[in-house]
Amino acid sequence: MWERISTVLRKEFRSVLRDPRMRMVILVMPVIQALLFGYAVSLDVRHVRLGILDRDQTPASRALVARFTGSSYFALVALPGDEAEARRLVDAGDVAAILQIDAGYAGDLNGGRTATAQLIVDGSDSNTARFVVNYASTIAATHDSQIVLQRALRQAGRTIPAGSVDLRPRAWFNADLESRNYYVPGIIANLVMLVSLMLTSMAIVREKESGTIEQIMVTPIRPVEFILGKCAPFAVIGFLNVAMVALVGLYWFDIPFRGSFALLLVGTAFFLLSTLGIGLFISTVSQTQQQAMMTTFFFFFPAMLFSGFIFPIANMPLVIQWLSLADPLRYFLIIIRGIFLKGVGWDLLWPQFAALLAIGLIVLGTAVNRFHKTL
């Protein structure tokens, strides 16, 4: 049995590694993609391009402007002279927001009335616009609180600041709230899933197109032995890709690693059991490599969207939330982020391990049953 499995294993290794382009895909492309996605996939919004239209030109209006330009969230790039010029800047994409302060702003403040200022935001990019509005609301609220406090102190004739509440938020596991720390471990999972699916989905199809499947069918090898021989090389490649991309995250992007490396290997093994099984199932139902490739991408993109990698699962429709329970990427993302960022162990992650094991056994068993030594 083991001799037959090792024979298929050596054949598959030679078939994969003898092609220079395939070696590039296996060894180089995951690192390049990790670097590209690590920089590109980020929801942090900094240095928003801001235009200022100040029609009041008073110390009070300039104090509000200084609040915005003095923060790390906004960068002053334009001073339009009128509303038409401000509109052109927004239409051309030269600014992401315009802070407009009308004449009479200081007079309203001094008269005890509510002074208004308008923030015009480019809503075509809804994600950035949402962050801009939140940043601006926080800055305006802080500025308003300081004005109210100063006015109260002047009226009371006090020079000692009044008591106040000092709320000091503290974020665990990601102190600076860097989205890169959240997304880079997820990129590792997505890249490993994509590479393992692509390689395994074309494993049996390649035998069909080259005609060697007929030679295999007349040998004494059993379906389970053939499947194991096909899976083993891609499992080794999957572990190698995890190690390579994890090193990029740790030493290039400074992603913290607080958990057990051994537990990460076990989680990777369970995850690969699922992805290799799905890839082999795709390979058994496809007749050409082109069909296998298209089916792989047809499965991969919904799996990525339903996994919670980009969008929170809790915000999805209930039907999609139920479908996501069959997505192995969902569970591996919880495992890899828990190990990297939180340092949690088996006592908290065992439900995810159990789900991955169940999915892997089901799909791999189905793939073995679909493979028959007949045309």
CB-side neighbour CA atoms (13 Å) of 34: 30
Question: How long, in residues, is the chain?
Answer: 375
For 366, the token pair is: 């189905």
For 226, the token pair is: 């053939």
The pLDDT of residue 357 is: 92
Sheet holding 48-54, edge to edge: 74-78, 48-54, 97-101, 118-121
Burial grade of 306 (CB within 10 A; 0-12, 13-18, 19 or more): buried
Give counts: helices (H), strands (E), the chain. 16, 4
What amino acid occupies position 259?
G
Rounded Cα distance, 208 and 201, in Å: 12
Rounded Cα distance, 293 and 205, in Å: 10
Q: Which residue ranges make up each domain of the chain?
A: 2-42+178-370, 48-156
- β-bridge pairing 97-101 and 118-121: antiparallel
What amino acid occupies position 352?
Q
Rounded Cα distance, 85 and 79, in Å: 9
Interior/surface letters 182-219, b for 16+ CB within 10 angstroms, e for the rest: bbbbbbbbbbbbbbbbbbbbbbbbbbbeeeebeeeeee
Of 339, 336, 331, the residue nearest 355 (C-alpha) = 331
Interior/surface letters 341-371, b for 16+ CB within 10 angstroms, e for the rest: bbebeeeebeebbebbbebbeebbeebbeeb
Rounded Cα distance, 126 and 349, in Å: 35
What amino acid occupies position 128?
T
For 4, the token pair is: 């037959």
The pLDDT of residue 108 is: 78
The pLDDT of residue 356 is: 93
Rounded Cα distance, 241 and 26, in Å: 8
Domain 48-156: give its CATH superfamily. abc type-2 transporter like domain (3.40.1710.10)
Alpha-carbon dihedral sign for residues 243, 245, 250, 252: positive
Residue 27, number of CB atoms within 10 A of its CB: 14
Alpha-carbon dihedral sign for residues 82, 83, 86, 91: negative
The pLDDT of residue 285 is: 81
Would you call 312 helix, strand, or coil by DSSP?
Answer: coil
pLDDT per residue, tens digit, the chain (375 aa), is 656 666 666 666 666 667 677 677 677 777 777 777 777 666 667 788 889 988 888 888 888 888 888 887 888 888 888 888 888 888 888 888 888 888 888 887 777 777 788 888 887 767 678 878 888 888 887 777 777 666 666 666 555 454 444 546 666 777 666 777 888 888 888 888 888 888 888 777 777 776 666 666 666 666 667 777 777 778 888 888 888 888 888 888 888 888 888 899 999 999 998 898 888 888 878 878 788 888 888 888 888 888 888 778 877 888 888 988 999 999 999 999 889 888 888 888 999 999 999 998 898 888 777 765 444
The pLDDT of residue 220 is: 65
Spatial CB neighbours of 62, under 8 Å, sequence gap ≥ 6: 54
